Structures are given as C-alpha cells and as structure tokens.
Structure 1
C-alpha cells in the first residue's frame, strides 16, 4: 500500500458515508453507535442481574425473619406453659 493510498479514519468514514452513485450503499452502523448500544445493553443486563440478586436476597431474609419469629413464639410458649 502506497503512502498516497492511506487515509485517516475520519476520511475513511466520510468516504463510506457518501453514496456510491449506484444506490446500493449499505447502511453500516458507526463504531460509536455500536459501542454505545453495547454499553447500554451491558448496563441493562447488569441492572437485571442486580435486581434478580436483590429479589433472591430479600426472599431469603423474609424466610430468616419468619423463622426467628416462630422461634421466639416457641420459646415464649415453653417458658409460660412449663410449670
């Protein structure tokens, strides 16, 4: 490749964005757009995973609280009903 064939990234993007004249230009997403959509997807995925973990933890804590309440009731029943 000769030095006169080299173009900067900006020039290459401008050449790709110009229509070729025959009307068969394919629309390719810009790298910034795909990067932004990947970041948005990753952020949404992380939010969903975090939400699922929070719900699981909340469910476990509810069971622990219910077990402690039942245990306290049993202890009070033993203390008051034994002579």
Structure 2
C-alpha cells in the first residue's frame, strides 16, 4: 500500500539534503574563460540573499520588540491608572 512510500520527517530531510545525480546534457557546453561560472555566481547570490534575509529578519524583530515594549509600558500605565481610580475614589 502507500505505507511503503511514507517516510519520517528526518528521512525526508536526509533525502532532500542528498544531491541528486546530475544528468549529462549534450547541448550544455563547458564554461569558457569569458563566461562566468554559474556555480560560483549562484553560490555568491545565495550567500547575498541569505545575508539580506537575515538582516531584514533582524530589523523586523527589533521593530517588533520596540512595539511590544511600548504596548507593555502602556498596559502597566493603564493598570496603575485603574488602581488609582479604584482606591482614590470615595
């Protein structure tokens, strides 16, 4: 049945991490000196994209942290105001 095709998450990740064998393509020509190597440019693009994503995530988390700090401060002030109203009103 389909149970044979099922795999755990760990097995799936290991399967995805394994490089698939490259099939030779007759129409592909080896890169010459005047053509940039796609492997090195792809890896540098990926590194740049990863660095950019990491910087964006850091900026977003800092903004969210500041917003949460202001919300917490507002709630503390609101609680203090409510207690003052409850205890100081006759």
**CA, structure 1 residues 8+56, in 2 after alignment: closer, same or farther (shift >3 Å)?**
closer
Q: Distance in 1 between matches of 2:57 and 2:28?
A: 42
TM-score normalised to the size of structure 1?
0.69
Give 1:29 deviation, angstroms.
Answer: 4.1
Is 1:63 aligned with 2:76?
no
Moved over 6 A (4+): none
1:8-23 equivalent positions in 2, closer than 5 A: 8-9=28-29, 12-13=30-31, 16=32
Going by fraction, where is helix more abundant, 1 or 2? 1
TM-score normalised to the size of structure 2?
0.64
- What's the counterpart of residue 44 of structure 2? 37
Aligned-residue Cα RMSD (Å) equals 1.9
Unpaired stretches in structure 2, ≥5 consecutive residues? 1-26
- What's the counterpart of residue 20 of structure 2? none
Q: Distance in 2 between matches of 1:59 and 1:43?
A: 24
Number of aligned residue pairs: give it: 65
Q: Which has the larger radius of gyration?
A: 1
1:52 to 59, 63, 73: 59
